[in-house]
């Protein structure tokens, strides 16, 4: 009997060991599969993140090149028949942008007969004895027949920036380059030349050098036709690789990260081997002490499971560049709660002032700035700042964080030691809260008074500087006026400045505070003050008015359901959403039915405002229309205690409005019905 029990216990021990072995093996396999999938996903995420970062960096470079070639074309069109001025423009461009290896302007055959059949002015950068030298020369000749090149042919055909395939430029840049070309027209609008900037492939390689996601990973950049821009080392036949790529929108290039399979899963294989050895050791120990060490087996399984760990992904920041300001006003015609107008008047053909704005999730991001200096270098920095604002503001929420990232990027690439004063704000369209940060710029004027600002350093002076943000509250119909020092420092013939005092007096005297009227009134006043004196600095102004929120309906009952979404966006206390929605639906429906009878066309305007008095805070809804006179407040109170047969038809909607709102008032103003509903908070 004892032997039987011992044998039974021995078989039980073997079964325990077998089951444990199966469980451990399955656990290891499952862990391996999921770990492999997780590591593969992490590797892809890391590669995608680095690709996005590299794409942004290259987009900054290519956008800067496109802005540069368009700027060069614009200057060439100003002096299309002046070779000396054109040569100086190419030289200034190469001296300003370290990413430009060479820049040139190539004319059609025999355009300057005295210069010969070919005439291409080119400035290029070369390094000799550790010093950078810019050469300017005419390189068009029989041996360098640019008229037969692809970049010249496409530049004369395409009315936009065109990127070439990689090639060796043996006359201008004297290096492997990709070129960006743009057409130049004369006064008659005829294409007479092509502006060209060359981007060295060596420079592109330095831009994307950090793309080594793993120690033995590779990266490459190929053109839209598959030519190598940055070539990767040859892969080994039979070896498995993971390739991740992104397309660069501006040029059609593809940038790729190539990671060997054994590199990605090296740690997993090493850990798997360790786990396997531990499993065997554990089973050996388990076989020896199975009758008394059940809990040790569980401890071993737990220990095995504890060997697997994952790493967190990295967050990156992005920055891009562009070189234009908004010119279409009103910019948001569907929004009745916002009115914006701006203008920029450069002192020269190009300037360094900028303003910009855009809406994101009902928040208005806006900025105004002034680049030190004027001319081509200032304009290029301005384009960079505008692009950085757009790209960084799309990711960050606070003005200080946006300003800090813009400053770090500009400081890192500030070879010309230029700086930018900038005011940046974020206006919450639901609440009127204005978060802002000022980097050494002129303080804006809010409702006739200068806004209090912290004097942070301008952008581009000190990398890593920590900016301080501020907050204020805008009330309905208040005006925020922003400007550059080209307004207050404008001088007349007697060298007297326009000054802040005169600016504030003019602002206080403007009765109609619509942004366009304010900007145009100040522009006319400063022009009258300056007279015939030459403009010495760029002049930029922008005005923003935060208006009463409103929604407009056509005379169509089918539009009523959109009221609930509009009311939800007003951020009322949650308990008021439903009663306010019911009251407004009934009131607007009554207007559509009675003010516009027999399918008469018309509109209904609903406006919202918050007010407060001694009794407390209130919300006010104003419903106006241009229909026939209709006073819903004259409807008699409905006796809801009567049966439906005893009550007169109608009146229940207005009864509901009276019950849901605290006050209801009707006025006939001119040709308008105006119904006011008030709810106490």
What CATH number does residue 644 fall under? Answer: 3.30.565.10
Among 546, 563, 578, give the residue marking a domain's end: 546
* Mean pLDDT along residues 220-247: 74
HEC string for 175-211: EEEEEEEEEEECCCCCEEEEEEEEEEHHHHHHHCCCC
To the nearest whole number, what is the mean pLDDT of the chain?
Answer: 81
Percent of the chain whose predicted confidence (pLDDT) is above 70: 84
At 383, which CATH number? 3.60.40.10
* Mean pLDDT along residues 658-679: 91
Both 528 and 558 in one domain: the answer is: no
* Mean pLDDT along residues 110-136: 86
Q: Which of 171, 231, 194 is nearest to 72 (CA)?
A: 194
Both 534 and 559 in one domain: the answer is: no
C-beta atoms surrounding 408 within 10 Å: 19
Residues ≥6 apart with Cβ < 8 Å to 643: none
CA distance 364 to 338: 9
Q: How confident is the model at residue 2 (pLDDT cuts 50, 70, 90)?
A: very low
Give the relative orientation of helices 574-590 and 652-660 as an angle to the nearest 10 degrees.
150
- Write down the pLDDT at residue 597: 80
- Classify residue 293 by burial, with Cβ atoms within 10 Å: 0-12, 13-18, 19+: middle
Whats the size of the chain, residue-wise? 681
pLDDT in tens, 562-615: 888 888 877 788 888 898 999 999 899 888 888 888 778 889 999 888 887 888
- Per-residue DSSP letters for 447-513? TTEEPP---PPPBTSSTTPPP--EEEEPPTTEEEEEE-HHHHT-B-TT--B--HHHHHHHHHH-S--
Q: Can you list the pairs that 524-527 forms with residues at least 24 positions away whose Cβ atoms lie under 8 Å?
A: 526/487, 526/490, 526/498
CA distance 532 to 425: 35
Both 486 and 588 in one domain: the answer is: no
Both 525 and 508 in one domain: the answer is: yes
* Mean pLDDT along residues 444-469: 93
Both 514 and 565 in one domain: the answer is: no
C-beta atoms surrounding 179 within 10 Å: 30
Answer yes or no: are the C-beta atoms of 411 and 460 closer than 8 Å: yes
3-state SS assignment for residue 47: helix
pLDDT of residue 426 exceeding 90, the answer is yes
CA distance 45 to 316: 12
pLDDT of residue 461 exceeding 50, the answer is yes
pLDDT of residue 667 exceeding 80, the answer is yes
pLDDT of residue 301 exceeding 50, the answer is no
Answer yes or no: are the C-beta atoms of 123 and 91 closer than 8 Å: yes
Q: Is the dihedral of CA 9, 11, 15, 16 positive or negative?
A: positive
Among 520, 546, 572, give the residue marking a domain's end: 546
Q: Which of 672, 567, 670 is nearest to 621 (CA)?
A: 567
Q: Would you say residue 300 lies in a domain?
A: yes
pLDDT of residue 368 exceeding 90, the answer is yes
Q: Is the dihedral of CA 453, 456, 458, 463 positive or negative?
A: negative
Residues ≥6 apart with Cβ < 8 Å to 462: 407, 411
Both 522 and 446 in one domain: the answer is: yes
- H-run or E-run covering 606: strand 603-613
Q: Of 54-58, 101-105, 539-543, give the lowest mean pLDDT range.
A: 54-58
Both 622 and 475 in one domain: the answer is: no
CA distance 85 to 79: 7
Q: Which of 450, 439, 536, 445 is nearest to 486 (CA)?
A: 536
Locate 618 and state its tokens: 């209130």
Both 577 and 594 in one domain: the answer is: yes
Q: Would you say residue 279 lies in a domain?
A: yes
Q: 311-339: buried (b, 16+ CB within 10 Å) or exposed (e) per residue?
A: eeeeeeebbbbbbebbeeeebbeebebbb
Q: Would you say residue 132 lies in a domain?
A: no
Q: Would you say residue 293 lies in a domain?
A: yes
Q: How confident is the model at residue 350 (pLDDT cuts 50, 70, 90)?
A: low
pLDDT in tens, 636-649: 665 444 444 444 44
Q: Would you say residue 615 lies in a domain?
A: yes
Most confident range (mean pLDDT) of 75-79, 80-84, 541-545, 650-654 is 541-545
pLDDT of residue 505 exceeding 60, the answer is yes
Answer yes or no: are the C-beta atoms of 624 and 677 closer than 8 Å: no
- H-run or E-run covering 8: helix 2-78
User: pTM of this prediction?
Assistant: 0.45
Residues ≥6 apart with Cβ < 8 Å to 262: 239, 240, 269
Both 460 and 609 in one domain: the answer is: no
Percent of the chain whose predicted confidence (pLDDT) is above 90: 23
Both 342 and 491 in one domain: the answer is: yes
- Write down the pLDDT at residue 650: 45
Q: Of 105-109, 380-384, 457-461, give the lowest mean pLDDT range.
A: 380-384
Both 450 and 462 in one domain: the answer is: yes
Q: Which of 236, 412, 251, 253 is nearest to 319 (CA)?
A: 412
Q: Would you say residue 645 lies in a domain?
A: yes
- H-run or E-run covering 43: helix 2-78
Answer yes or no: are the C-beta atoms of 385 and 420 closer than 8 Å: yes
User: Domain residues for 565?
Assistant: 550-680
Q: What domain count does the chain have? A: 3
Q: Would you say residue 242 lies in a domain?
A: no
Locate 107 and state its tokens: 């004319």
Both 289 and 377 in one domain: the answer is: no
């Amino acid at each position: 009997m004892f032997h039987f029990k011992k044998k039974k216990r021995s078989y039980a021990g073997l079964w325990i060991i077998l089951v444990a072995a199966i469980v451990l093996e399955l656990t290891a396999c499952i862990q391996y599969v999921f770990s492999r999938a997780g590591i593969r996903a992490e590797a892809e995420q890391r590669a995608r993140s680095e690709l996005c970062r590299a794409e942004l960096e290259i987009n900054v470079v290519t956008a800067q090149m496109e802005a540069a070639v368009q700027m060069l074309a614009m200057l060439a069109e100003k002096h299309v028949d002046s070779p000396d001025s054109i040569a100086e423009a190419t030289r200034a461009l190469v001296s300003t942008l370290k990413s430009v290896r060479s820049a040139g302007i190539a004319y059609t055959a025999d355009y300057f007969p005295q210069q010969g059949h070919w005439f291409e002015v080119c400035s290029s950068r070369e390094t000799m004895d550790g010093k950078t030298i810019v050469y300017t020369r005419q390189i068009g000749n029989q041996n360098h027949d640019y008229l037969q090149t692809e970049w010249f042919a496409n530049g004369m055909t395409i009315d936009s920036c065109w990127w070439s395939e990689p090639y060796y430029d043996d006359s201008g840049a004297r290096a492997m380059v990709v070129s960006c070309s743009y057409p130049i027209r004369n006064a008659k609008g005829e294409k007479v030349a092509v502006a060209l900037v060359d981007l060295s492939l060596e420079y592109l390689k330095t831009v994307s050098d950090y793309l080594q996601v793993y120690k033995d990973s590779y990266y490459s950049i190929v053109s839209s036709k598959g030519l190598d821009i940055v070539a990767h080392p040859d892969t080994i036949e039979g070896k498995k690789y993971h390739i991740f790529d992104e397309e660069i929108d501006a040029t059609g290039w593809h940038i790729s990260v190539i990671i060997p399979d054994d590199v990605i899963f090296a740690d997993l294989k090493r850990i798997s081997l360790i786990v396997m050895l531990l499993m065997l050791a554990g089973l050996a120990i388990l076989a020896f002490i199975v009758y008394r060490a059940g809990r040790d087996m569980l401890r071993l399984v737990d220990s095995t499971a504890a060997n697997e760990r994952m790493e967190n992904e990295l967050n990156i920041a992005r920055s891009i560049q562009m070189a234009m300001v908004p010119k279409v006003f009103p910019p948001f015609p569907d929004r009745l709660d916002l009115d914006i107008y701006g203008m920029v008047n450069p002192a020269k053909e190009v300037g360094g002032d900028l303003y910009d704005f855009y809406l994101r999730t009902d928040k208005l991001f806006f900025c105004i700035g002034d680049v030190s200096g004027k001319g081509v270098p200032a304009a290029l920095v301005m384009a960079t700042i505008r692009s950085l604002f757009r790209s960084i503001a799309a990711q960050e929420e606070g003005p200080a964080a946006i300003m800090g990232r813009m400053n770090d990027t500009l400081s890192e690439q500030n070879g010309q030691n230029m700086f930018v004063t900038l005011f940046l704000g974020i206006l919450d369209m639901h609440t009127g809260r204005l978060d802002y940060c000022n980097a050494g710029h002129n303080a804006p004027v809010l409702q006739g008074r200068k806004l209090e600002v912290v004097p942070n350093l301008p952008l581009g002076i000190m990398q890593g500087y920590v900016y301080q943000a501020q907050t204020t509250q805008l009330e309905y119909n208040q005006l925020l006026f922003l400007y550059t020092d080209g307004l207050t420092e404008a001088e007349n013939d007697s060298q007297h400045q326009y000054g802040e005092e005169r600016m504030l007096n003019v602002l206080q005297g403007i009765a109609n505070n619509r942004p366009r009227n304010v900007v145009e009134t100040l522009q006319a006043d400063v022009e009258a003050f300056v007279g015939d004196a030459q403009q010495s600095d760029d002049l930029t102004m922008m005005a923003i008015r935060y208006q009463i929120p409103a929604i407009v309906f056509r005379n169509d009952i089918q539009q009523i359901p959109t009221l609930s979404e509009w009311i939800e966006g007003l951020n009322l206390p949650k308990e008021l959403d439903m009663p306010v929605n019911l009251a407004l639906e009934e009131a607007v429906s009554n207007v559509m039915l009675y003010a516009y009878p027999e399918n008469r066309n018309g509109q209904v305007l609903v406006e919202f405002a918050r007010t407060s008095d001694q009794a407390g805070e209130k919300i006010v809804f104003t419903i106006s229309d241009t229909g026939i006179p209709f006073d819903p407040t004259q409807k008699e109170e409905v006796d809801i205690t009567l049966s439906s047969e005893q009550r007169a038809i109608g009146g229940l909607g207005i009864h509901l409005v009276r019950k849901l709102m605290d006050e209801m008032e009707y006025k006939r103003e001119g040709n308008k019905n105006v119904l006011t509903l008030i709810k106490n908070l």
